[in-house]
Structure 1
Amino acid sequence: MTDTPVEPVDTAHETVCAWTVRDTPVGPLLLAATGEGLVNVVFHAREDTVDRALARLAGRLGTDPRPAAGTPEPPAALTAATEELARYFDGVPGPFTVPLDWSLTGGFHARVLRELASSVPYGTTVGYQDLARRVGEPGAARAVGVAMGANPLPVVVPCHRVLESSGAIGGFGGGLETKRTLLSLEGVLPEPLF
């Protein structure tokens, strides 16, 4: 019997993904990052939600996300995102500068989300229709709504800042109370009375 040589594993092209859960005023958030940047933010990150989100990430990225605490050196974007979100929830206005990994979105959705991230700053809002016009698709207001619902990076890519043309708050994947809280934090809506 001869020994069959074992081929070395090529880890140079392996996607490393690390994650953490942080408590925030809108509940626990799951943050996941790759070497390229922040890749996913998930609301209501309790155990069952985290398990489902990590399974989806593993399927989409082709690698099992690892807890940041168990990773020798978590991606820098994970640390940056944690720090920037802490400042955000402390009420410090300003743009997010953490690098983003856009690999969980593409096509029209990516165009809309990139436009939103780059042109709708803290404390401002935009309508679905206006955002559709900005990406060159004036008849696509509903498709913009679908892109907001599929946003893999909520809060950082601020889909909570997108409102109906009437000024109504519209929908939100994280729940309307979460959207109200985020808009109140940014001074767009008055603080709740109780």
Structure 2
Amino acid sequence: MHRRDVLMGGAAVGLLGLAAVEPAGAQTSPASLLPVEVDIRPEIPANELHVIPDSFMLYWTLPGARAIRYMVGVGRPGLYESGEFYVGAKKEWPSWTPTKSMIERNPAYKEWEDGMPGGPDNPLGARALYLFEPGRGDTYLRIHGTNAPSTIGSAVSNGCARLVNDQAIDLYNRVPLRSRVVLHPKMV
């Protein structure tokens, strides 16, 4: 175990009272992106998503004070938006249309201002959960797959949380519409 793993895991333990329980035969490499089932505080309801940005972890809460922990990439500094949301839409192989502010930050995105069709080269990857707020509707925040798995464990996106595609598919299949999503504030 490396010092970074201990420090990053500390944020999740503090906010959610989480403790990892490694399954038998699991890889212990810190580079492993495999989901892990963990214990959580008993008062945290099942069927919620919690993103802990400082430790690059997303939790899908289960009954019995358990959760599945996925490693994610998050929004880069100044673009991560904490708060409470709900899953307002779900899409398989979603299309991607950069926002005006994304095009301003990266003029190369202008090529896709009318949208990029879904598929393996699309930055939203294989699946996407669209985050909504009451009264606001679509926030343009997503929990999605990625065609750039090397970005997992870093803060590089335009505000969304990203998983490797096979795990995005797994999460997509587990999470129903209207599920509560908490994007916890950055602590660092």
After TM superposition, is the score higher than 0.5?
no
Largest Rg, 1 or 2: 1
| Larger fraction in helix | 1
TM-score (norm 1): 0.31
| Larger fraction in strand | 2
TM-score (norm 2): 0.32
The one of the two structures with greater contact order (alpha-carbon pairs below 8 A, sep at least 6) is: 2
